[in-house]
């Protein structure tokens, strides 16, 4: 009789554990990619981190962003309404000069469940960042959050120091 009671308790525990696993896996998945035109890149889609080594070839490693950092980036995207921003990028203010050289392409994309957003812009309008407002200020803040998180990772810091660069 005791054996039957124990088997019943074990079956309930296993069933509860499976239900908990299903509930957790039904939560929408969040992934993002941030890429600078020169080679620095972080992607949770394929769990990679790439460091631009300027003169030397870029170095890419397998990398999984800690959950707390991933949650911080997700929270910032929600806060700034990233998934509702204009594409291919927010419109620059009409009085924004262009042509800043050197410049590079920035690519930022994210997926949360069935929602996806892909934004790209060039840093040729960097002078406008100093007086940015709205979506541009929000993207500036998000980009710097991602960079701070990336730069402080021990795996990123352990990569070779780029030649001809401060990092």
* Domain-wise residue ranges, the chain: 29-157
Residue 86 has phi, psi (to 5 degrees) of: -65, 150
Computed from CA positions of residues 74, 115, 111, 29, in that sequence, does the dihedral angle turn out positive or negative? positive
pLDDT value of residue 5 = 44
Residue 50 has phi, psi (to 5 degrees) of: -120, 135
**Band of residue 153 on the pLDDT scale cut at 50, 70, 90:** very high
Average pLDDT, the chain: 78
pLDDT value of residue 21 = 41
Of 89 and 35, more confident: 35
pLDDT value of residue 28 = 86
By C-alpha distance, which of 24, 17, 23, 16 is closest to 67? 24
Longest dimension (CA), the chain: 83
CA dihedral 119, 39, 151, 166 (to 10 degrees): -130
- Tell me the residue length of the chain: 167
Which region among 78-82, 101-105, 114-118, 140-144 has the lowest average model confidence (pLDDT)?
Answer: 101-105
Cα–Cα distance measured from residue 56 to residue 50, given in angstroms and rounded to the nearest whole number: 13
Summarised one tens digit per residue, pLDDT across range 55-100 is: 888 889 999 999 999 999 999 999 999 999 877 566 666 677 666 5
By C-alpha distance, which of 164, 149, 82 is closest to 118? 82
In CATH, the number for domain 29-157 is 3.30.1560
Q: What is the mean pLDDT of residues 36-51?
A: 91
Long-range contacts of 60-65 (CB under 8 A, 24+ apart): 61/155, 61/159, 63/153, 63/155, 63/156, 65/149, 65/153
Summarised one tens digit per residue, pLDDT across range 20-32 is: 443 455 678 999 9
């Amino acid at each position: 009789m005791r054996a039957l009671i124990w088997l019943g308790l074990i079956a309930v525990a296993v069933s509860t554990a499976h239900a908990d696993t299903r509930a957790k896996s039904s939560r929408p998945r969040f992934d993002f990619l941030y890429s600078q035109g020169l080679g620095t890149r972080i992607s949770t889609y394929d769990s990679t981190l790439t460091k631009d080594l300027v003169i030397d070839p870029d170095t890419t490693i397998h990398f999984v962003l800690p959950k707390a950092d991933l949650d911080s980036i997700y929270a910032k995207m929600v806060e700034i309404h990233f998934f509702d921003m204009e594409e291919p990028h927010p419109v620059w203010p009409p009085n924004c000069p262009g042509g800043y050289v050197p410049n590079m392409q920035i690519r930022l994309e994210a997926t949360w469940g069935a929602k996806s957003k892909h934004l790209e812009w060039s840093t040729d309008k960097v002078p406008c960042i100093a007086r940015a407002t709205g979506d541009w200020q929000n993207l500036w803040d998000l980009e710097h959050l991602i960079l701070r998180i990336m730069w402080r990772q021990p795996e990123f810091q352990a990569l070779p120091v780029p030649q001809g660069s401060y990092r």
